[in-house]
Structure 1
Amino acid sequence: MGPQQRDNSTAQLDLENDSDLKQDQDISATSGDADSRRSTLELSPEERRLVRKLDMRILPIACLMYLFAFLDRSNLGNARLQGLPQDALHGDPTGVLFDWINSGFFFSYILFQVPSSVVSKLFRPRLWLGSAALGWGISSTLMPASAREFRFIFVRPGPPFSGSLVQPPLRNVMKNWNINVKTAYFYTKHEMGLRMAYWFGFAAVAGAFGGLIAFGVQHAHSAVANWRLLFIIEGIPAVLLGIAAITLLPDRPEMTSFFNEDERAIAVSRMNRAISGDVGLNVNKAHVWAALKDWRVYMGGVIYFGLNCALASTSAFLPTIILTFGFTNAIAQLLTVPPYAVAALVLTLTSYASDRMQSRGIFMAASSALGGIGYLLLLVVPSNEHVRYFAVFCITSGTYTTIGLIIAWFAHNLGSESKRAAGIPMFMAIGQCGSVLGSHLYPATEGPRYM
Structure 2
Amino acid sequence: MSTDDKARYADEKTTVDQVETGSVKEELPAPATTYEGTPEEKALLRRLDMRIMPLACILYLFAYLDRTNLGNARLQGLPQDTLGGDPTGIKFDWVNSTFFFSYILCQVPATIVSKLFPPRIWIGCAAIGWGVSSTLLATGFNFPGIPLYMSFWYTKREMGTRMAYWFGFAAVAGAFGGLIAFGIQHAHVSISNWRLLFIVEGVPTVMMGILSIWLLPDRPEETPFLNEDERKIQLERRERGLKADFGRTVNKKHITAAFNDWRIYCAGVIYFGANCALASNSAFLPTIIKTFGVSNAKAQLLTVPPYAVSAVVLTITSYYSDRIQSRGIPMSFAAVGGAIGGTYTVIGIMIAWFAHNLGSETKKATGIPMYMAIGQCGSVLGSHLFPATDGPRYTKGFAVSCALLFFAAICGIILTISYRIENKRRDDKYGQPDPDAAVDTTELADKAPMFRYVI
TM-score by length of 1: 0.80
- Identity, % of aligned pairs? 67
**Cα distance in 2, alignment partners of residues 354 and 183 from structure 1:** 17
Given residue 190 of structure 1, which amino acid in structure 2 is its aligned partner? Answer: R
Label 1:124 to 1:83 Cα distance change in 2 as closer, same or farther (>3 A): same
**Mapped pair 1:96 → 2:93:** no
| SS of the residue 1:184 aligns to | helix
1:202 aligns with 169
1:121 to 115, 118, 139: 115
**Mapped pair 1:444 → 2:388:** yes
**Mapped pair 1:132 → 2:126:** yes
2:366 to 412, 418, 422: 422
TM-score by length of 2: 0.79
Measured against aligned partners, the alpha-carbon deviations of 1:241-284 in whole angstroms (never above 9, x if no partner) come to: 00011000011111111111111111111112223332331111
Q: Retained in 2: the 8 A contact 1:129–1:242?
A: yes
1:383 aligns with none
Given residue 86 of structure 1, which amino acid in structure 2 is its aligned partner? Answer: Q
2:339 aligns with 372
Q: Retained in 2: the 8 A contact 1:83–1:227?
A: yes
Gaps of 5+ in 2: 1-11, 21-33, 396-455
**Cα distance in 2, alignment partners of residues 224 and 288 from structure 1:** 48
Q: Retained in 2: the 8 A contact 1:276–1:417?
A: no
Q: Retained in 1: the 8 A contact 2:246–2:361?
A: no
**Mapped pair 1:408 → 2:352:** yes
Q: Kindly state the Cα deviation for residue 111 of structure 1 after the two structures are TM-superposed.
A: 0.1
Q: Retained in 2: the 8 A contact 1:21–1:290?
A: no
**Cα distance in 1, alignment partners of residues 47 and 100 from structure 2:** 35
2:262 aligns with 295
1:304 aligns with 271
1:327 aligns with 294
Given residue 64 of structure 1, which amino acid in structure 2 is its aligned partner? Answer: I
**Cα distance in 2, alignment partners of residues 340 and 214 from structure 1:** 15
Q: Kindly state the Cα deviation for residue 17 of structure 1 after the two structures are TM-superposed.
A: 8.2
**Cα distance in 2, alignment partners of residues 70 and 187 from structure 1:** 23
Q: Kindly state the Cα deviation for residue 22 of structure 1 after the two structures are TM-superposed.
A: 6.7
**Cα distance in 2, alignment partners of residues 77 and 243 from structure 1:** 27
Given residue 46 of structure 2, which amino acid in structure 1 is its aligned partner? Answer: R
**Cα distance in 1, alignment partners of residues 136 and 381 from structure 2:** 26
Label 1:79 to 1:21 Cα distance change in 2 as closer, same or farther (>3 A): farther
Q: Retained in 1: the 8 A contact 2:112–2:362?
A: yes
Given residue 350 of structure 1, which amino acid in structure 2 is its aligned partner? Answer: T
| SS of the residue 1:185 aligns to | helix
**Mapped pair 1:188 → 2:155:** yes
Aligned residues: 372
1:7 aligns with none
**Cα distance in 1, alignment partners of residues 100 and 64 from structure 2:** 13
| SS of the residue 1:215 aligns to | helix
**Cα distance in 1, alignment partners of residues 126 and 264 from structure 2:** 25
1:213 aligns with 180
| SS of the residue 2:153 aligns to | coil
Given residue 96 of structure 1, which amino acid in structure 2 is its aligned partner? Answer: I
**Cα RMSD between the aligned structures?**
2.0
Label 1:276 to 1:425 Cα distance change in 2 as closer, same or farther (>3 A): farther
Q: Retained in 2: the 8 A contact 1:271–1:277?
A: no
Given residue 113 of structure 2, which amino acid in structure 1 is its aligned partner? Answer: V
Q: Kindly state the Cα deviation for residue 20 of structure 1 after the two structures are TM-superposed.
A: 13
Q: Kindly state the Cα deviation for residue 410 of structure 1 after the two structures are TM-superposed.
A: 0.9
